[in-house]
Amino acid sequence: HGIFAGYKIVYVNTADQSDRGNVTVERDVKDESIDFELTDLRPYTIYQITVSPQTLEGDGAPSTPIFVHTDDGVPTGFPLNVQGSPMNSTALLVTWQEPPQEDQNGIITGYQVQFHPQGGGSAGMSTMLVPSSPAELVHLQKFTLYDVNVAAVNSKGVGPPSPIVTMRTGEDVPAAPPSNITANNVSSTELEVIWRPVPQKYQNGIVLGYKVMYRRADGEYPIRNVTINNGSQLSHVLKGLKKYGPYDIRLLAFTVKGEGNVSESVFCRTAEDGE
């Protein structure tokens, strides 16, 4: 039925009819055995393939279709909607959704979660593998911002990471007292106490205020205290004290989670009467 010219191979993605194509294989001998490689196909996809003989007059009847499943490929999409929330002051709960189906390129076997303190650089990067969402990140620094990304994993490797999401661990009580505490006598019945904030790395949250504790150093009990509900206030005048009395003064800072460590004692004496 005409002079034989070759074969026409038609391939169609069974899940996406727009993903189709054809290629002509030129041959002179009709009964020649032919191997031909189709390239640039989608990974992990079923294709319907037919072969038709070609003559100079046109195409012949196509063969019975065969269905071929391409091999897996590394994921080309990243997990979606990555979010995080504090579980406590040293742990974060990270959640996400799987990559779009067409970008998975195989069966997703797990996820790679990478995280590090913000500003710490790749040197502080930690990596963990989990089978699915969510992931619990533990043993973290308190009240610290972390940069987190998630990548999908299949039999062929690790896909691209999601955009970085920043999340913060929860608050805790301060791990250190206020610093540079001093006291000066203002009068025979008043002492001014001055201090500096808790060092940043020990605050473990937003410092809401301070507690000043004081007593006569010669044995007066109980200990008195003044609560200052202002985290930016860095001095306080103690009034109504005994004249020319020695006082033992200590401070602590507090966050929404409670009171932190108490400082060492600072000693100061009120002025003599008349000063």
- Lowest mean pLDDT, pick from 36-40, 89-93, 100-104, 232-236: 36-40
In a domain, residue 173? The reply is no
Do residue 227 and residue 191 come from a single domain? Answer: yes
Residue 76 maps to a domain:
no
Task: Enter the tokens of residue 106.
Answer: 């195989």
Residue at 275 is within a domain: no
Average pLDDT of the segment spanning 136-141:
96
Q: What is the pLDDT of residue 6?
A: 82
The separation between the first and the last C-alpha atoms of the chain, rounded to the nearest angstrom, is 126
The whole-number pLDDT of residue 218 equals 84
Decide if 174 is inside a domain.
no
Q: How many domains does the chain have?
A: 3
- Whether residue 159 is found in the same domain as residue 209: no
CATH code of the domain covering residue 232? 2.60.40.10
Q: Is 112 found in the same domain as 38?
A: no
Whether 274 is covered by a domain: the verdict is no
- What is the reported pTM? 0.82
Q: What is the pLDDT of residue 88?
A: 97
Q: How far apart are alpha carbons 202 and 260 in whole angstroms?
A: 10
In a domain, 240, yes or no: yes
Same domain membership, residue 110 and residue 56:
no
Q: How far are the Cα atoms of 90, 91, 113, 258 from residue 85, in angstroms, in the given order?
A: 11, 9, 15, 21
Domain boundary among 40, 70, 100: 70
Q: How confident is the model at residue 95 (pLDDT cuts 50, 70, 90)?
A: very high
In a domain, 75, yes or no: no
Domain identity same for 127 and 162: yes
21 has a pLDDT exceeding 60: yes
Tell me, yes or no, whether 190 and 263 share the same domain: yes
Better pLDDT: 211 or 273? 211
Q: Does the pLDDT value for residue 170 go beyond 60?
A: yes
Residue that is last in its domain, among 168, 198, 222: 168
The stretch 254-273 carries a mean pLDDT of 95
Assess whether 162 and 119 both reside in one domain: yes
Same domain, 257 and 200: yes
Of 141, 168, 195, the last residue of a domain is 168
pLDDT mean over 89-107: 96
Mean pLDDT of 10-38: 81
User: Which residues contact residue 45 at a Cβ distance below 8 angstroms, ignoring those fewer than 6 apart?
Assistant: 13, 14, 15, 19, 69, 70
Q: Is residue 78 part of a domain?
A: no
pLDDT band at 234 (very low <50, low <70, confident <90, very high): very high
> Which residue range is the domain that position 51 belongs to?
4-70
